[in-house]
Structure 1
Amino acid sequence: MRNDPPGDADHRLAARLAALRADRGWSLDDLAARSAVSRSTLSRLERAELSPTAAQLGRLCAAYGRTMSRLLAEVEAEPPGLLRAAEQPVWQDPEAGFSRRSVSPPHPGLRAELVEGTLLPGATVRYDGPPVPGLEQHLWVLAGTLRLTLDDGPQHLAPGDCLRFRLHGASEFHCPGPEPVRYLVAVVLP
């Protein structure tokens, strides 16, 4: 999220997660079954006692049929047309060594967005499945190296390489090092 005072972004995200579950009439047990996130963790996430990991947020987005960027944009204030670098929301999973910057100005009616990802050397982020089946992505490596594993196996990407794919199954992003990998992803809804 943005560099808000500690807790502000977490509280907005927690409230949005609780509202999404309530809108569907799901119990915590229902959501736990759909997302493979434990009931107790879901409860703590919705009360902002805990910040979600990248993997947990990915599973919740899949359960709700949203991209991560869309969910994070929903907790931001009125969407601007211009988003200066200093205002771009940054979400971090320090334990996983992952940070995600929403580069595009958020807008719920648009089908494409740009996201910058950074993984520290040795870091791995796994997603059980796409938030939206058939999600098109164009991944461009800006610095470092990335091993991206999709249904058809691993792809090793170096600076300047760009891979276009449709996401249908699990995915894994790994930075083999020795330096962090920084990449840009264009996410396009089907």
Structure 2
Amino acid sequence: MRDDLGEAYLGKADPIDDRIGARLAELRSQHGWSLGELAERSGVSRSTLSRAERAETSPTAALLNRLCHVYGRTMSQLLSEVETAPVPLVRATEQQVWEDRASGFVRRSVSPPHAGLRGELVEGRLTPGADIAYDRPPVPGLEQHLWLLEGVLEVTVGETDHRVEAGDCLRMRVFGPTRFRGTGPGEARYLLAVVRP
């Protein structure tokens, strides 16, 4: 069973989902918003928000993107906020990996987490046929450089479509919707450099 943003219902929450849920509840509380107010600001149903905060679901990338937009932070910032103490070096085996099982998207936070920095590196992997659409950027004017390492990726920025092949780099400043599609036949793997305005 899935709802309006396609989060997957879980029997038992992953520890990262527990920490994300707690952080989302904390952010809403810091802003003094009820679930209803957050639902109006984000366009996400109250029941979906409640389940995400209680870690009864594993939130999708689209859901987290909408909430990051409302709270004015990137997804990496949100995920870094559920980590322990910030460190200057993070080993490959310790880099946080988050998976949107419903869409076939895996996201690795390559950069050491630190909420105060403007730039970050993210590795993304999309299975063939994966299709992720964001209706808005988490932070308007976000600068992104997508370097495709393997596969083929179709990227739509606003009204413009781009076919990105291995070795290509797409630079974008995001103010509106974006869409990423893994066109196969193999997995699309990319490095994304993200710079907050």
Give the TM-score normalised by the residue count of structure 1: 0.95
Determine the structure 2 residue equivalent to 1:3. Answer: none
Question: Which one of the candidate residues 78, 91, 107 is aligned to 2:114?
Answer: 107
Question: Which one of the candidate residues 126, 150, 167 is aligned to 1:143?
Answer: 150
Superposition misfits of 4+ residues, deviation over 3 angstroms: none
Q: Calculate percent identity across the aligned residue pairs.
A: 61
Counterpart residue type for residue 164 of structure 2: L
Matched, 1:96 2:103: yes
Counterpart residue type for residue 96 of structure 1: S
**Distance (Å, rounded) in 2 between the aligned partners of 1:93 and 1:165:** 23
**Distance (Å, rounded) in 1 between the aligned partners of 2:172 and 2:179:** 14
1:29-86 per-residue CA deviation (whole Å, 9 max, x = no partner) reads 1111111111001111111111101111111111111100000000001011111111
Question: Which one of the candidate residues 41, 48, 55 is aligned to 2:62?
Answer: 55
1:4-49 per-residue CA deviation (whole Å, 9 max, x = no partner) reads xx63211111110000000001110111111111100111111111
Counterpart residue type for residue 121 of structure 2: L
Counterpart residue type for residue 80 of structure 2: A
**Distance (Å, rounded) in 1 between the aligned partners of 2:125 and 2:55:** 25
Identify unmatched segments of 5+ residues in structure 2. 1-12
Question: Which one of the candidate residues 18, 25, 31 is aligned to 1:11?
Answer: 18
**Distance (Å, rounded) in 2 between the aligned partners of 1:72 and 1:63:** 15
Matched, 1:158 2:151: no
- Matched length: 185
1:76-130 per-residue CA deviation (whole Å, 9 max, x = no partner) reads 0101111111100001011100010000001111110000000000100011101
1:23-102 alignment runs, 5 A limit: 23-102=30-109
Matched, 1:123 2:130: yes
**Distance (Å, rounded) in 1 between the aligned partners of 2:41 and 2:191:** 29
Counterpart residue type for residue 57 of structure 1: L
Per the alignment, in what secondary structure is the counterpart of residue 146 of structure 1?
Answer: strand
Counterpart residue type for residue 132 of structure 1: V
Per the alignment, in what secondary structure is the counterpart of residue 106 of structure 2?
Answer: strand
**Distance (Å, rounded) in 1 between the aligned partners of 2:164 and 2:29:** 41
Determine the structure 1 residue equivalent to 2:176. Answer: 169
Counterpart residue type for residue 134 of structure 1: G
Identify unmatched segments of 5+ residues in structure 1. 1-5
Q: How far is 1:165 from its partner? A: 1.1
